[in-house]
Each structure stands twice: as C-alpha cells, then as structure tokens.
Structure 1
Amino acid sequence: MSKPLISVITVTRNLIEARRRETMRAALDCVQAQSFRAVEHVIWDGASTDGTQPLLEEWQAEICADATAIPIIYQSDADAGLYDAMNKAVALASGDYVIFLNSDDSLASTDILGELAALVQATQPDFVYGGTLQTLEDGRTKNHSRTNLSAFLQRMPFCHNSMLVRREVFLALGGHDLSYRVASDYDFVFRMLMEGHSGVGTKLPVSKFSARGVSANVMGVAKDYAEVWSRYFGKLAGRGRIDGEETLNWYRSGQLPISMCRAALRAARGNETMRRAALHSLKITLRRRIQPWRKWDYLQG
C-alpha cells in the first residue's frame, strides 16, 4: 500500500483483565471493514502482563494474512498512561491524519473514513470533526450530533474519538500534555483552537463509544478543566495563573467570568473561532446572571 491518508490509533493495556477482549476485536474488525482503504491501524500496547500481547500478535497475523487487509502496525512497550500511549502511537503512524479509537469503541459506519477523507481532500483542513454515537447500558444507542466550536472555552466541542487531526499539527503542538490525567484531550483541542488551527465539521456520526473509562470520572474531568483554565486564562488576563478553586467554581456553575470572556475577546486578534467562542461564553454568562433564581452544579453530574 502507498502512504496512508489516515492512521487509526488504538491503545490498550491488559485488555483481557479489563474484559475488553471482545470490544478490542470489534475495534480491529470495524477498521478492516472500511470501504476506504488508504488507512493503517496503529495498535500500541502498554506492556501488558495478562496475555494481551500474544493475543494481539495472533490477531495481527490472522488479519494481515489477507493481502487485502488494512495494515496493522503493532508495538508493545512501557508507557506513562493513556495519553502517553496515544502520543507514542502517533509517533509510529505514517498517515497524514490520525484518529483515536479506544479499545471499547468502534467506527460509526463502514463508510465513515471515506466520508472524512472526502472532506480532507476537498479542503485540506487541520482537523475534521463529527458527531458521536453512545451505547447505553440497556443496549440502546444515543446520537450526540450536536457539536459547537464556539463552546470550546467552556467544554469539549466534540468527542475526542470523533476528530481526525493532521498528524503534523498534533506533533507541532506537542501532542497530549501528560500533566492532565483525565482531560488531556480537552487541553489539546483548547490549545489547537487557541492557536488558530482551522477545521471542518460534519453532522455524520464518526465513532461509537460506551460511557466508561477516564472521561467518566466527573471530578477528574472538572479538575483538569479547571487547571486548563488556570493556565491559559491566567495568561490572557495577565495574572500568570488563576487559583484552581476559583476555576473549579467556573466548571461547577457552567459559566466564565465576564472579565475572562473580555480577555479572550481581546486576545482573539484575527482568530475567528476564538472570537466567536468568547462571545458565546459571554452570552451564556450574561444570561445566567439575570436568572439568579436558577442554580447550576455540574459537579453533581
């Protein structure tokens, strides 16, 4: 195969112990089922100790015995956790764009990588994003098709696993910051948009996920978001950083201080996405300020 356009990144560790054997195989199979074939699948295993390594080697040999298979690049070595594993896997990849697919996720359809490739080939964006399907505990599927770049100052504007990002942009930004244990994906997208990288969206669902894993940790997510804001809004406001308890209260109430919205607006300087996000955040804050009878506490889930 010539150089792939897309590298699908899947990282795992001790998947047998975590009872993800079946979902991991489904993740492998959903990539192989894609109609668009200029793809490679990069598997990074974090030095598993429960039999995962020989299992993945067996699956790789079985799948790649077919000459028409999408290539699987597999490596097992020690890492410092989920986001370090993702960074290491991207370093192994050779595609122009990467997309992250967890070991209990799947691609939303057999044509979705082709749909994303068409958007890439038409506009050459820094990233492409779409909707997400969620598998609920009762087996039903919920469609999260609402995405909003203008919300990025307050929350993740789309699902991490529904984003195709240019590999050279990911590397130039330093990949995922390992100081964030739970929401390094939000920090990465935040930095990417703050620096003015442009993308295109689609209403099509890109991936399907179940609500478990690090992102299901409400307090962990909140603390990481608060730290992102402490760092970046502190710089924008000329304060160096802002106390984490203060920014944690921003998360709890779901609104940014007016002064921070204004600081983001001043710093936009031609960054249209950031300008719209600052105005969006300001609108939400002003609306909630005139509704004192309503209470919000997003730390309660």
Structure 2
Amino acid sequence: MKISIITVCYNSASTIEKTIQSVASQRYQNIEYIIVDGNSKDNTIDIIKKYENNITKWISEPDKGLYDAMNKGLALATGDLIGILNSDDTFYSVNVIEEIAKFHENNNIDASVGNIIQHKEDGKVVRMYSSKFWSPEKLRIGFMPPHPSIFFERKLFSKFGNYELGFKIGADYELITRFFLKNNISWKYSNITTTAMLVGGLSSSGSSSYKLITKEIQKALKMNQLEFSPFKIKMRFFWKIIGFLKK
C-alpha cells in the first residue's frame, strides 16, 4: 500500500525541516512525499533541496492560497491513501504511517480518523484532540475530527471533488462535510495519534478566527444542502465544555 503525504508551505524555513525529518524517519517504506511550495521568499527552498532524497516530488510556484496548494498536491499524488502534514507539524512517532497502513489493510474503509496533540514551541503539550466520540452528525453543530488525523482513499477526491477555493480557513470542514455527511463514506476511528501540531494555526488564532470559521461552517453545510442549527454552531464552544465535563 502506497501512502501519499502532502505538505504545503510558504516561507516555512523556521519549521519545515522538522516536518521533512519526521517523514524521512518513518519506518514504513512505501511513502510518496509531496511538497507544494507557494514560491517562498525565505530559504524554505534551500531546506527542501537539502532533503531532495527524502522527497518524491516537489514544486514551487505562486498559488491562490493553502487549499489551492493542497489541490496541486492531490493532482501529483499516486498513493492508495492521502494524508496531510502541515509545514509546522510533525508525525507523532516513527511508527505512524506503518500503523495507518496496517489499520487500512485490516479494515475495508474509505477513511480513518484519529487523534493529534497540540503543543507550544517549547514542546509542552496543551491538548489531546481526539476523534473517539466524534460522528459525522456532529458536523451539523460545528465539530469535525482533526484534519491531519484523517487518511483518505485517494479515489474519494476523484469521485467527490477536491478542496473548494471559496473558503479562507474552512475548506477542510467543507470537504469533510461533503465526504462524511453528504456522501456517507465508510470510515472508522483508528485510535492512532498521528500528528504533533504546533499551536497557532490558521483556524485556531483568536476571536476573529472563531467568527470566521463559524461563518464558514454554516456556508459549508448550506453548500451541501444539509440542515443545521446556526445557534448550536455559534454556541459550539459551550457544547464542547459540557461534553468534556460529561466524560
């Protein structure tokens, strides 16, 4: 089973070396590693060239943003499975891709969902983000599994489409909604912690971001003609606290 890992980046010189090293250190051998750079102006390209022997394909050219770059990566991918590894994140352990491959070989599914950890620059873990209690119906109230923990069969993108470019930070939410809820793909919780994510991504940076993603969650559900409660989506932070207290 070939697994394609896609990393998109732009001016990521401060973090991308660790990202590349985490892919290179995976014990699983059948990895296709693709990097899509948005024509970086720092020394990101120098770092990529340093590790060319560990990278299957890479391109550097202007793009229309994060999701356009992801779509370029999808166009280059030839693996059975697709995974996304952000340019400031790393795999949780050297066994992650091996565990993912075994899980998909043992389960006839379109996608697996797992866990990630979030950490500060000093390495201190601030959160374990788990998909254990997630289900597609929770997309209607604003909850998605952590995007980097999902591994998709590549055929899904040909069948149901790629990331929509009309979103600033919510195209991953829309794609997950389209795949899991609208088209009812088969999936299973893997209980694999796939990724160590540096705190401070596009969709986790303050109240203005919270308002924007709230708007884009509703847009994603409307695009897919799915019923939802705007009130529940706006109040999802409180439902999350209540769910945590119940556990």
TM class by shorter-chain length?
Answer: 0.7 to 0.9
- 4+ aligned runs moved over 3 Å, structure 1: 136-139
The CA distance in 1 between the partners of 2:73 and 2:45, in whole Å, is: 16
2:89 is aligned, of 97, 101, 105, to 105
The CA distance in 2 between the partners of 1:212 and 1:172, in whole Å, is: 33
CA offsets 1:170-193 (integer angstroms, 9 cap, x no match): 232211111111011011010001
What displacement does 1:25 show? 0.7
Higher RCO, 1 or 2 (CA under 8 Å, sep at least 6)? 2
2:143 is the counterpart of 1:159: no
The CA distance in 1 between the partners of 2:41 and 2:121, in whole Å, is: 29
CA offsets 1:69-109 (integer angstroms, 9 cap, x no match): x5431111221100110010111111111100001111111
Identify, as 1 or 2, the structure richer in strand.
Answer: 2
Give the count of matched residue pairs.
231
What displacement does 1:125 show? 1.3
Question: Equivalent residue for 2:2?
Answer: 5
2:222 is the counterpart of 1:230: yes
What displacement does 1:41 show? 0.8
TM (normalized to structure 2)?
0.85
CA offsets 1:117-158 (integer angstroms, 9 cap, x no match): 011112231111111111036632132234312422223431
* RMSD over equivalenced CA pairs, Å: 2.3
8 Å Cα contact 2:131/2:146 also seen in 1 = no
2:234 is aligned, of 252, 256, 259, to 252
8 Å Cα contact 1:6/1:39 also seen in 2 = yes
What displacement does 1:213 show? 2.3
8 Å Cα contact 2:115/2:191 also seen in 1 = yes
Matches within 5 A, 1:89-100: 89-100=73-84
8 Å Cα contact 2:174/2:221 also seen in 1 = no
Give the share of equivalent positions with the same residue, in percent: 26
- Structure 1 gaps of 5+ residues are 65-69, 256-283, 289-301
Question: Equivalent residue for 1:211?
Answer: 199
1:171 is aligned, of 150, 155, 158, to 158
- Structure 2 gaps of 5+ residues are 243-247
Question: Equivalent residue for 1:274?
Answer: none
2:110 is the counterpart of 1:126: yes
For the pair shown, the structure with the greater C-alpha radius of gyration is 1
2:12 is aligned, of 15, 19, 33, to 15
8 Å Cα contact 1:41/1:71 also seen in 2 = yes
Question: Equivalent residue for 1:40?
Answer: 32
The CA distance in 2 between the partners of 1:78 and 1:156, in whole Å, is: 32
Question: Equivalent residue for 1:86?
Answer: 70
Question: Equivalent residue for 1:145?
Answer: 130
The CA distance in 2 between the partners of 1:58 and 1:146, in whole Å, is: 36
